[in-house]
Amino acid sequence: MTGPAPVVVHGRDGDCPVLVRAGALDSLGAVLAPLVRGRAAALATDSNVGPLHAARAAAALEAAGFRVSVREVPAGEATKNVRALAELWDFFHGAGIARSDLVVALGGGVVGDLAGFAAATWMRGVAVAQVPTSLLAMVDSSIGGKTAVDLPCGKNLAGAFHQPVAVVADPLLLRTLPAREFAQGLAEAVKYGCIRDADFFAWFEGRAGAPFADGDVERIVRTSAAHKAAVVDADEREGGLRATLNFGHTVGHAVEKVLGYGTISHGEAVAIGMVAAAKLGEALGRTEPGTAERLAALLAKLSLPTRLAQVAEGVDPAALADAARSDKKRDGDAVRFVFLDRIGACTVAPLSAASLAARLPAAL
């Protein structure tokens, strides 16, 4: 394969190259074959992605000598549960996946999280390759080794850190992505502009409202992937810097939980959560005035919601505050909250449960 060199996450269990290249799907087997000893591959995908891309992915793996078994799970967040996890373990057994073999997660964030956690826990850990097919997965969830399933009591509460042997992102696959799905991925890309890269944020402002060309999409994926990889490289297990990637997620996860997982997309919830976090920061004197308005204006141009009322009515603010307080990133009676200092810089600081409950309704 030709093109720019991959960025690399240097994990404690080995390096993970993140390849962002047009046409990379057809070279999948050639990329992965040198990274594992075994030649059995369990390809996990979903009912939306499978009919579009699974045959090409399997053919590329088989051309490199892999014996491929394919499993489709139902598309959607509701699939990311313990039952589906157990079904993937059964699939691995039937596919003969041993410690030296490979799991390939072909799909968006749900497939990546589910198959990644299944790989992390099968035989105490087998290799997994992430092959993201959604913008959200390409820019965020496929990179960094965080895997999980949802529980009735909260999102992503059962999981493991399990670095993939590689992330292979082919931006051309995004041509088949529905507009709403593409937009939710933009929310996570804008996040990097908010917390790390003011120039990237400004680049979005200059292009928002017009269609993105293939070159623009590749830039979005490559820039976002580089930011995610750099953060994970510095803090693989979320001891400090990696917590900044949760900007907008404390409130966003609460919105997802209270509305019911799958009611709105993760990216839409994060968009609402980012604006709410910026408003909270301004109200507490932590965030530069006008930041929330600027962020909301950009997200609106990208066809993303910025207020809870745009997606649901009659939501109990107390229920949202309770859900936010149950976030796994809490510290005692406080939540580790990501505040923007300004566009391009952020701070993680404790936010008390009382302050969160008092100010969240107005921020939403």
Is-catalytic flag, 146?
yes
Domain holding 115, by residue range, is 7-176
pLDDT by residue (tens digit) across 21-46? 999 999 999 999 999 999 999 999 99
Catalytic annotation, pick one of 53, 219, 266, 325: 266
211 and 166, same domain (yes or no): no
246 catalytically annotated: yes
Domain annotation covers residue 2:
no
**Distance in Å from the first CA to the final CA of the chain:** 47
Quick check: is 1 in a domain? no
- 150 shares a domain with 187: no
Residues 191, 283, single domain; the answer is yes
Output the six-digit token pair for 60: 């590329």
Give the pLDDT score at 357. 83
**Containing H/E element for 291?**
helix 291-301
Closest CA to 24 of 203, 142, 172: 172
Task: Please tell me which residue in 162, 246, 256, 286 is annotated as part of the active site.
Answer: 246
pLDDT of residue 321: 82
* Same-domain check for residues 201 and 243: yes
Amino acid 190: pLDDT: 97
Whether 66 maps to a domain, the answer reads yes
Query: Could you give the number of structural domains in the chain?
Result: 2
Whether 124 is catalytic is: yes
| Marked catalytic residue, from 72, 181, 188, 268 | 188
Q: Where are the alpha helices (DSSP H) in 68-148?
A: 82-95, 109-121, 135-136
Identify the active-site residue in 236, 238, 256, 268: 238
Question: Is 228 part of the annotated catalytic residue set?
Answer: yes
Q: Based on the fold, state whether residues 194 and 328 are members of the same structural domain.
A: yes
Torsion of CA 310, 315, 317, 319, to 10 degrees: -130
Residue 57 near residue 37, CB atoms below 8 Å: no
Per residue in 191-221, pLDDT (tens digit) is: 999 999 999 999 999 987 888 998 999 999 9
Active-site residue identified among 21, 219, 253, 279: 253
Strand ranges in the chain using DSSP code E only, listed in sequence order = 7-11, 14-20, 40-46, 67-73, 102-107, 127-132, 146-151, 154-161, 166-169, 330-331, 334-342, 345-352
Instruction: Note if 266 is an active site residue.
Output: yes
249 is catalytic: yes
Task: Let me know whether 241 and 141 are in one domain.
Answer: no
pLDDT grade, residue 176 (50/70/90)?
A: confident
Strands 166-169 and 127-132: parallel
Domain assignment present for 23: yes
* pTM beyond 0.85: yes
Which domain CATH number covers 97? 3.40.50.1970
Q: How confident is the model at residue 233 (pLDDT cuts 50, 70, 90)?
A: confident
Active-site entry in 21, 80, 196, 242: 242
